Amino acid sequence: MFITGKAAPAGSKEDECGRYVVALEDLPEETEVLRESPFVLGPKQSSVAVCIECCSTQLANKNPCEGCQLPLCLKCIEGKRSRHQPECQLFISNGKIFREESAVNNVYPCITVLRMMLAGEHSLETHTKAREDTPVWVYNEKTVVPFITTLRDENGKQIFSQEDIHTATGALDTNSFHLQDESTLGRAVFRMASLFNNSCLPNCYREVTSEGISIRTSRDVKKGEELTICYTGLLTPNHIRQAVFVQTKHFQCKCLRCLDESEGGSYPTALTCSLCSDGIVVEQTCQGCQESHDKDRIEQISTLADTLASRLVKEHECSMLNAGFSKLKRMLTKHHYLLVKVKLHLIEHAETCEQCRENENIIQCITEMKALTSLLNIKPQNINLEILRDNHSNLSSWKTLLQEKVKK
């Protein structure tokens, strides 16, 4: 719930800007404004096998749920299963037991949707109409609807309709928070946290665990100022953020960062100029020497950089990593999002490679990452596993190294 005297909801669904959250007093940086337990928590639709109760990835393979046979972790085998119990009873009464791995995989996309409906009434945004016939709607229509509509009550009546299911999937996709750490993978919905609007220059950050969510200010906030979080990754570029907003949240962000072509001077999609030493190419023109660049050539370099970066984030051989990084930084500006992905991977690699730890490339990566987070006013605690999509590195590793280097 909202911390008394710190923040409160404002507005209404009927207002143009909808509901939002405001500060009730001047708030110093790191002030907690909300702490809330999940309304619904469960596996992601694309999830690997996790504990059906707490979403732990540490499974007890030989000890599934004694009722429906879905996976559990050791802790949940011995403890209460308040999240899983209602659906388990429903599965058993409908004769649905999941002994085979394929059966488990097929039901995972349905679990959290089912929990959303079993949880009862809510006032969450669903965007049901806007979602019709979109790829995610079609996926749910083909994967989730056929299974859940087979469930019957004690009188043999269908419990959930197609409309119920699409409303639930809409509420989930619009409002859920990604949950991931070293041993947990899932998604959670919070009634009050869902009221926070998006900004790509947010004044708050959140920490999500299976126990709940905590939202704190990331800078000083004035009384009456709207409190915001970023729905996507703070290190992702505008075109990726906007695609996520449009496809999953059904809005286009018009915050100051999204309206700024340079994104605060970070230029996360710009190439370096091949004609001058430090020019940045924006819309085919170098901002330094003003020379024009061929559009086809720009697209060719961008494709090459994407391919190289995708390969490097999976590479662990030192010479290949360093050679690839050196090649990439000749093509891309220092804060280009593809180069950032490789920097994070390089810094993580250096944690376990003494040979690379003092390498000049690693030192450069750390220095430039510090500059980028400062430029965009990103606090270390804002950087989490959903900030840079498709990045397989554990971002806590570079934060640790960054702090060590700064102290020196």
Please report the DSSP string for 327-377 in residue order. HHHHHB-TT-HHHHHHHHHHHHHHHH-HHHHT-HHHHHHHHHHHHHHHHTT
pLDDT at 279 over 70: yes
**For all residues of the chain together, what is the average pLDDT?**
88
The residue assigned the tokens 């990084």 is: 325
pLDDT higher at 320 or 388 = 320
What's the CA angle centered on 175, arms 257 and 130, to 5 degrees? 85
Contact assessment for residue 87 and residue 111, using Cβ atoms and an 8 Å cutoff: yes
Which tens digits make up the pLDDT trace of 100-113?
989 999 999 999 99
Query: Quick one: what percent of the chain has pLDDT higher than 90?
Result: 70
pLDDT of res. 46: 83
Q: Specify which residues 187 forms β-bridges with.
A: 42, 178
Which tens digits make up the pLDDT trace of 55-103?
999 887 778 999 999 999 999 998 889 999 999 999 999 999 999 989 9
pLDDT higher at 16 or 335 = 335
Which tens digits make up the pLDDT trace of 343-401?
989 988 998 898 888 888 999 998 999 899 888 877 765 554 334 333 333 333 334 44
What's the CA angle centered on 193, arms 41 and 235, to 5 degrees? 90
Please report the DSSP string for 287-313 in residue order. TTT--B--HHHHHHHHHHHHHHHHHHT
pLDDT of res. 408: 40
Closest CA to 248 of 126, 150, 347, 162: 126
Contact assessment for residue 50 and residue 44, using Cβ atoms and an 8 Å cutoff: no
Q: Checking DSSP bridges between strand 40-42 and strand 184-189, what pairing results, if any?
A: antiparallel
Euclidean distance between CA atoms 149 and 165, whole angstroms: 9
The residue assigned the tokens 């009634």 is: 191
Contact assessment for residue 381 and residue 207, using Cβ atoms and an 8 Å cutoff: yes
Closest CA to 52 of 31, 20, 75: 75
Closest CA to 204 of 21, 17, 399: 21
What does the DSSP 8-state code read for residue 79?
A: S
